[in-house]
Amino acid sequence: MGLTPRKQKELPPGPAPWPFLGNLFQKDVLPVCNSYLKLVKKYGPVFTVWVGPKPTVVLCGYEVVKDALLGHAEEFGGRPDIPLKIPGTSGQGFGNSDEKKWRELRRFTLSTLRDFGMGKRRMSDRVQEEALCLVEEIAARQGQPFDPRSIITSAVSNVICSVVFGSRFDYKDKVFLEQIPRVTDRISFLRSFLGVVYFALPKIMNYLPGRHKKVIAEGQKMYTFIRERVKSHMESLDPQNPRDFIDCFLIKLEKDQSHNEVIFSHEDLVVTVLGLFVAGTGTTSQALLYSLLAMAKFPHIQAKVQQEIAEVVGTHRPPSMEDRMKMPFTNAVVHEIQRYEKSSTETFPRAMTRDTEFRGHTIPKGTSVIPLFTSLHFDPLRWETPEEFNPGHFLDEKGEFTKKDAFMPFSAGKRSCPGEALAKMELFLFFSTLLQNFTFQMNGAAEEKELLSLNVDFLNKNTYPPIQAIKRPL
């Protein structure tokens, strides 16, 4: 980043870095989601780690993260350049550094997604329909062990596809199926230690062979997939009857050009759609897959969820969003699944927009910052049994669902996830519909592993144990 020696001295304290490599290969530093307790004890809740030659300030604990993201939203609201980009797309879409352009793009995207039902009843109906398609596909496995990643990810992806492209894809569509592993591999790479190394040393890594080469090449193919669909929309566009997000963006481009107010380009459209496709496919499907592991590991919790579904919904219709308020235990389980999911965040940092005095430290403009949400979700001051999978964290003494301030799976403040409402809807409806229809079980060596260990294998190594879906009598 090119900090002067004086600026470096002003940074919060942290483990001494090696020249050039920083703390990359030092024991008990990275990933910080595994080492933060030791680092907080030694340096306090605001400390610096060096990801290669770049300093990164880590924020731990609810009060500190809340103060940064909500109390100093503008100062902590930047985003550093993410090196794992499609060649030629730098500065396009949500990755641009122009504050005015970024704000306008976020506003337009949220407004358009809401117009197409995000967070509303018709989107709920759309998710329900997809959940039933997923049930039918899983039932065809007839209780045999199978890898659910492709089919679960396809179902979740179809929801965002219906908004962005105007239609869903068949689970056997060859072109669509080619995109699914590209999305999951990309997210898995970013969350792996190799992803952290690439993020720290991209110029050097680009000269070396390795997994990053494949991820970049596959990203280019996803970009081509999106670009072809944008071109098809341009050829069939009816400005009076927009079908989806792409149509709305194209209409805006035409209007802006006629008024000489050009803010966005066609490349912004392609890159924005690519971002929505990856984000809307990857993170929600990973949480849903994690939920199946959790239910297979804790059959007593699975049985209690199924009992609540039977009492509130019955067997003759799928669960709806209106049922959620009457299903506090199921809702609590969905929240606990998100709380209990530890993940590395070194490759998804924020950046300081100006020199800032914060909690007794000076953080220079441009410095990468990691609000460590794992430190909130496993904080013993905020949760009764943070190291245990316990849906009771989200239930009061009467068994009613209760919100927790320290629960931030979608971040907070200026850079909070724009798809939060849709993700919440998908997680509840897919999860409850699957448990209404199936009981999930694990076999073999996976049965002996802890849930967090299975999650680490899933996120970092991109491995998932075969799982059985036993059809329940309806």
Give residue-wise pLDDT tens across range 345-364.
777 889 999 999 999 999 99
User: 417 lies in a domain?
Assistant: yes
Tell me how far apart the alpha carbons of residues 159 and 126 are, in angstroms, rounded to a whole number: 7
Contacts of 141 (CB under 8 A, 6+ apart): 469
User: 234 lies in a domain?
Assistant: yes
C-alpha separations of 279 from 108, 161, 242, 346, 468 in Å = 17, 11, 23, 17, 27
What is the domain count for the chain? Answer: 1
For strand 438-442 and strand 368-371, is the pairing parallel, antiparallel, or unpaired? unpaired
Predicted confidence at residue 220, as pLDDT, reads 93
User: 18 lies in a domain?
Assistant: no
Two tokens, residue 330: 């199921």
User: What are the backbone angles phi and psi of residue 74, rounded to the nearest 5°?
Assistant: -70, -45
Predicted confidence at residue 283, as pLDDT, reads 87
Q: Tell me which residue of 35, 48, 25 sits closest to 194, measured CA to CA.
A: 25
- Across the range 191-207, mean pLDDT stands at 89
User: 2 lies in a domain?
Assistant: no
Predicted confidence at residue 405, as pLDDT, reads 94
Name all contacts of 44-47 with Cβ < 8 Å and 24+ positions apart: 44/12, 44/13, 45/359, 45/375, 46/12, 46/358, 46/359, 46/360, 46/361, 47/12, 47/13, 47/14
Contacts of 370 (CB under 8 A, 6+ apart): 32, 56, 57, 58, 59, 345, 346, 349, 350
Two tokens, residue 52: 């290669």
Predicted confidence at residue 188, as pLDDT, reads 84
More reliable by pLDDT, 456 or 325: 325
pLDDT at position 55 over 90: yes
CB 422 within 8 Å of CB 280: yes
- Across the range 154-159, mean pLDDT stands at 96
pLDDT at position 455 over 60: yes
For strand 361-363 and strand 356-358, is the pairing parallel, antiparallel, or unpaired? antiparallel
User: What are the backbone angles phi and psi of residue 352, rounded to the nearest 5°?
Assistant: -75, 135
% of the chain surpassing 90 pLDDT:
68
Neighbours of 253 (CB within 10 A): 18
Sign of CA dihedral 327, 329, 335, 338: negative
Residue 45 confidence class, pLDDT cut points 50, 70, 90: very high
Two tokens, residue 426: 């998908």
Residue 3 confidence class, pLDDT cut points 50, 70, 90: low
Predicted confidence at residue 7, as pLDDT, reads 67
pLDDT at position 271 over 80: yes
Residue 1 confidence class, pLDDT cut points 50, 70, 90: very low
Look up the pTM and report it: 0.92
Average pLDDT of every residue of the chain = 90
User: 336 lies in a domain?
Assistant: no
Domain housing 425: 91-298+413-471
Q: What is the pLDDT of residues 233-246, one digit of tens each?
A: 999 999 999 999 99
User: 282 lies in a domain?
Assistant: yes
| CATH number of the CATH domain containing 277 | 1.10.630.10
DSSP-derived secondary structure letter, 23: T
User: 209 lies in a domain?
Assistant: yes
Predicted confidence at residue 93, as pLDDT, reads 67
Q: What is the pLDDT of residues 85-119, one digit of tens each?
A: 766 566 676 766 677 888 888 899 889 888 877 66
Tell me how far apart the alpha carbons of residues 175 and 161 are, in angstroms, rounded to a whole number: 13
User: 375 lies in a domain?
Assistant: no
Task: Concatenate the DSSP letters of all residues of 184-228 into one string.
Answer: HHHHHHHHSHHHHHHHH-HHHHTTS-SHHHHHHHHHHHHHHHHHH
Predicted confidence at residue 83, as pLDDT, reads 77
pLDDT at position 173 over 80: yes
Q: What is the pLDDT of residues 379-429, one digit of tens each?
A: 999 999 999 999 999 999 999 999 999 999 999 888 888 888 899 999 999
pLDDT at position 207 over 70: yes
pLDDT at position 343 over 90: no
Residue 457 confidence class, pLDDT cut points 50, 70, 90: confident
Predicted confidence at residue 65, as pLDDT, reads 95
More reliable by pLDDT, 257 or 24: 24
Residue 3: strand, helix, or coil: coil
